[in-house]
């Protein structure tokens, strides 16, 4: 079940002297929501354009849904959906006409086209706007239509380039509901984003900086990697003694005192918390509160980029 939907190896794209994508090795598993996280200008858009067969890589290879993007771009295009960063639908066509047009050039049979259009418009809640010109829709509705168009041919992989850039938080949440709904039906997602809260929602993340892959893993894994474990905070009646006891535990990697508590770095919080709690109890220290500290993904990102020896542009 871990068939690679996207597989790149040494993928590189140069624009003159500028290296936009630098030896990128990626693999995206079937059925996951894969986040491609990086600041503006990190090479995210260039990467997805190569994956969609819109640009030729300078070197390296990319296989998407089992086809090489250089030698068989049309096979790739037929089986993936792409939502570009810039809205690119026909303003002088209606919502229905846009879907009909794109359905026809993806060679979706007429009956199925109708059926899918109904289904998708219901999903993105545009049923009541079918006869409206795309140009008359609000910014948020245009985005929803854009998503709808990318779904018309029932793609197995959706590549979304900053799908929620510049739209308000409530609509972003709605978009993520759509994504999950579609993901449940088996669609794999490749999502470009620079929103950290959005990145948290991905199954796996690739951190990108200056066209290079900095780190790859689930949000939890990345945090663990950045911090060198997981952070836990103990609040006890006797902080000084707590510190002394925990300092000697082999579970604790790092320790320092904060306002009203002791912060630790451990390998894995879930197993360490009960063991350390009972250790403290054995020594007669009353544990008032224990919680796992979540480093923000933003901190993680900056930390990992710095670790990778890069100057960050965030």
Partner 1 sequence: MTKKEVTHLIRNRRVFALTLFMPLLLMTIVGLAFSGEVKHITTVIVNKDGGPLSQKFIDALKVSDTLRIRYYEDDEPQAEALVRDGLAKVVILIPSTFEDDLKSSKALIYVMLDGSDPVSAGAVAPVVQGIALSFTPKLSVQVERLVMYNPSLRYIDFIAPAIIGIFLQIFPMILISMAIAGERERGTIEQLIATPVSGFEILFGKLIVYMGFGFLSATTMLIVAVYVFSLVVRGSVLLIALFLAVFLTASLSLGTLVSAGSRTQMQAVQTIMPVIYIMIFLSGTFYPIEAMSPLVQPISYILPLTYMIHALRSVIVKGAGLEVVAKDFIFLSAYTIIMLVMAVAVFRKKLE
Length of the chain: 314
Which of 104/289 has CB closer to partner 1? 104
Min separation Cβ 167 and partner 1, Å? 17
Beta bridge partners of 13: 21
Nearest-angstrom CA–CA distance, 122 and 120 = 5
Which of 35/103 has CB closer to partner 1? 103
Which of 55/300 has CB closer to partner 1? 55
Which of 82/210 has CB closer to partner 1? 82
CA distances from residue 285 to 241, 243, 256, 264 in whole angstroms, order as listed: 8, 11, 18, 17
**Angle (CA) 312 6 216, round 5°:** 35
Min separation Cβ 186 and partner 1, Å? 21
Which of 161/230 has CB closer to partner 1? 161
Min separation Cβ 141 and partner 1, Å? 16
Min separation Cβ 74 and partner 1, Å? 5
Min separation Cβ 67 and partner 1, Å? 11
Min separation Cβ 306 and partner 1, Å? 33
Interface contacts to partner 1, rule CB under 8 A: 49, 52-56, 74-75, 77-78, 82, 84, 86-91, 102, 105-107, 146, 149
Numbers of helices and strands, H then E, in the chain:
11, 14
Cα 175 to the chain's mean position, in Å? 13
Min separation Cβ 176 and partner 1, Å? 22
> What is the DSSP secondary-structure string of 244-307?
HHHHT-TTEEEEEEETTEEEEEES-HHHHHHHHHHHHHHTTPPEEEEEEE---HHHHHHHHHHH
Which of 76/276 has CB closer to partner 1? 76
CB 9 within 8 A of CB 60: yes
Surface-to-core class of residue 309, CB atoms within 10 Å of its CB (0-12 exposed, 13-18 middle, 19+ buried): exposed
Q: Is 211 helix (H, G, I), strand (E, B) or coil?
A: coil
Which of 134/290 has CB closer to partner 1? 134
Which of 82/234 has CB closer to partner 1? 82
249 is written with which tokens? Answer: 């535990």
Instruction: Provide the CB-side half-sphere exposure for 133 (13 A, CA).
Output: 6
Surface-to-core class of residue 247, CB atoms within 10 Å of its CB (0-12 exposed, 13-18 middle, 19+ buried): exposed
CB 46 within 8 A of CB 23: no
Min separation Cβ 181 and partner 1, Å? 23
């Amino acid at each position: 079940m871990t068939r690679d939907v996207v597989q790149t190896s040494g993928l590189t794209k140069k624009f003159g002297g500028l290296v936009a994508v630098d030896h990128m090795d990626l693999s995206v598993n079937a059925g996951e929501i894969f986040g491609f996280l990086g600041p503006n200008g990190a090479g995210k858009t260039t990467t997805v354009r190569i994956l969609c067969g819109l640009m030729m890589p300078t070197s390296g290879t990319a296989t998407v849904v089992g086809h090489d993007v250089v030698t068989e771009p049309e096979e790739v295009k037929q089986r993936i959906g792409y939502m570009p960063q810039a809205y690119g639908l026909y303003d002088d066509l209606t919502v229905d006409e846009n879907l009909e047009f794109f359905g026809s050039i993806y060679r979706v049979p007429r009956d199925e086209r109708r059926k899918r259009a109904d289904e998708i418009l219901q999903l993105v809640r545009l049923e009541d706007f079918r006869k409206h010109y795309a140009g008359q829709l609000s910014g948020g509705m245009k985005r929803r239509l854009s998503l709808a168009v990318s779904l018309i041919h029932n793609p197995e992989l959706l590549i979304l380039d900053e799908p929620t850039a510049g739209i308000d938080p409530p609509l972003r949440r709605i978009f993520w509901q759509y994504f999950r709904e579609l993901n449940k039906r088996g669609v794999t997602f490749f999502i470009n984003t620079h929103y950290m809260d959005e990145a948290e929602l991905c199954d796996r993340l690739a951190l990108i900086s200056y066209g290079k892959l900095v780190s790859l893993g689930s949000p939890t894994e990345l945090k663990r990697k950045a911090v060198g474990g997981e952070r836990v905070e103990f609040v006890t009646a006797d902080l000084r003694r707590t510190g002394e006891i925990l300092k000697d535990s082999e579970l604790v990697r790092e320790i320092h005192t904060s306002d009203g508590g002791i912060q630790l770095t451990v390998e894995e919080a879930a197993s360490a918390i009960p063991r350390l709690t009972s250790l403290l109890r054995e020594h007669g220290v009353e544990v008032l509160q224990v919680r796992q500290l979540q480093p923000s993904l933003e901190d993680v990102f900056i930390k990992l980029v710095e670790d990778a020896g890069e100057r960050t542009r965030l």
